[in-house]
Amino acid sequence: MPSNASFQQRHGLLFATAMIVMMCVGQTFFFGTPAYVGMMAEQWRLPESQLGQLVTAEILGNSAGALALAFLMTGLPVRRVVAVSLLALVLSNALMSTHPSFGLCLLLRTLSGAACGALSGVAMRYLSAGAGAEKRLGAAVMAQNVHSMLLLSFVLPGLVTLQNGLLLISGAGVLCAVVLGCFSRSEALVPEHSAGPAPVKGGIYLSLGSLFMLYGGVGVAWTFVERIGVSTGLNAEQVGQLLGASTMLSLLGCVVAPLLIAKGHRYSGALISLLICAASAAMMALPMTPQSFSVAAFLFQLGWSASAIMMFATLPLYDGIGRHVAAGPGVLGLGYGAGSMLGGELMESVSPQAAYGVGALWFLAATLLYALLLRVRTNAAAPH
């Protein structure tokens, strides 16, 4: 248990809420990527190649930040890590709002992404620890979905300019400094002499590998879903409205996943959810109507949200100390980046159908790796 246990025991709900808010603030650019990219293209006249490089820089920075936290900074005081990460988030977005050179923009987006990865890693470490982790993770995924919907539908369109959108991140980062009071001065992410059980490396690597494959599939399926919708005859606005509606419906997965875990169906529930993702990607690889696209989009988002919660809640069973749990967002980012890059190449050089066929294979690979966990012992209880 973290050394700041007294605060968490007395204010458990408040602490979990603070971690979720911190994670959402850090991921604002990621969640609002379609809107930010659109504003950069329209207001800064950046070509598609440069837009792609900026998004890639954000994703790679995110992964680097989370992985550095997990393997290089676990012995540092959490308060210091969070403070430096928030400062980097605030300054990088404030400086980018001044419209510097493209090279500096790339550097700033990488720095902002690294800050986001570190903040997400800290939040994931605490949200995944102890009893009730599945409920906290479910609430986190639900909050992320709502945050994304609000950003894309209301907040960023209302701010109008890219400068305002970037300053929004900086301002939120400043306000988020209140979370520093949640940690004691000397509290480390992973105590040097942790009393937790020894990590089960086979389970850790299979868990992280299945998360990488899941988000590789997401990188294909989610990045280009609007293009598939438009190909059915819908316009971009209709596709956006449909995806917004399916996002809200998919919150059902955030409710069902903790219930399945509580009833001992963590593994079977995750496997079924992953197969739903694979089936929806395979549907999008076929000729589609607006109706079939609506069904596939809903099934994909439902399977994605449910499987992500159950898979993240599985990792602490093999990593009681929490070092590799903090690496989860970094692995997630690497998978998403790899999937979106491969999907983009296939969309351009072969066909959308080929891209989504490969996306289905990513999900099947995630299913296979996760299924192998049934043969690995845990530090808690036998798999269900």
Q: What is the pLDDT of residues 183-234, one digit of tens each?
A: 888 888 776 555 556 778 889 999 999 999 999 998 888 777 877 888 888 8
- In the prediction, which pLDDT does 382 show? 40
Distance from C-alpha of 253 to C-alpha of 250, rounded to nearest angstrom: 6
Q: What is the CATH number of domain 201-375?
A: 1.20.1250.20
139-182 residue pLDDT tens: 887 888 788 878 877 888 888 899 999 999 999 999 999 999 88
Residue 336 has pLDDT above 90, yes or no: no
Topology at the third CATH level for domain 5-182: Growth Hormone; Chain: A; (1.20.1250)
37-89 residue pLDDT tens: 778 888 998 887 788 788 888 888 998 998 898 888 878 899 999 999 999 99
Q: In this structure, are residues 93 and 170 in contact, taking their beta carbons and an 8 Å threshold?
A: yes
H, E, C per residue of the chain: CCCCHHHHHHCHHHHHHHHHHHHHHHCHHHHCHHHHHHHHHHHCCCCHHHHHHHHHHHHHHHHHHHHHHHHHCCCCEHHHHHHHHHHHHHHHHHHHCCCCCHHHHHHHHHHHHHHHHHHHHHHHHHHCCCCCHHHHHHHHHHHHHHHHHHHHHHHHHHHCCHHHHHHHHHHHHHHHHHHHHHCCCCCECCCCCCCCCCCCHHHHHHHHHHHHHHHHHHHHHCCCHHHHHHHCCCCHHHHHHHHHHHHHHCHHHHHHHHHHHHCCCHHHHHHHHHHHHHHHHHHHCCCCCHHHHHHHHHHHHHHHHHHHHHHHHHHHHHCCCCCCCCCHHHHHHHHHHHHHHHHHHHHHHCCHHHHHHHHHHHHHHHHHHHHHHHHCCCCCCCCC
Residue with tokens 């998360």: 211
- In the prediction, which pLDDT does 325 show? 78
Q: In this structure, are residues 100 and 91 in contact, taking their beta carbons and an 8 Å threshold?
A: no
Distance from C-alpha of 183 to C-alpha of 125, rounded to nearest angstrom: 13
Domain ranges of the chain: 5-182, 201-375
Among 183, 65, 194, 203, CA closest to 126: 183
Distance from C-alpha of 126 to C-alpha of 121, rounded to nearest angstrom: 9
Distance from C-alpha of 262 to C-alpha of 381, rounded to nearest angstrom: 13
The reply to whether 201-375 shares the fold of 5-182 is: yes
Chain mean pLDDT for the chain: 85
Distance from C-alpha of 163 to C-alpha of 128, rounded to nearest angstrom: 35
Distance from C-alpha of 296 to C-alpha of 288, rounded to nearest angstrom: 9
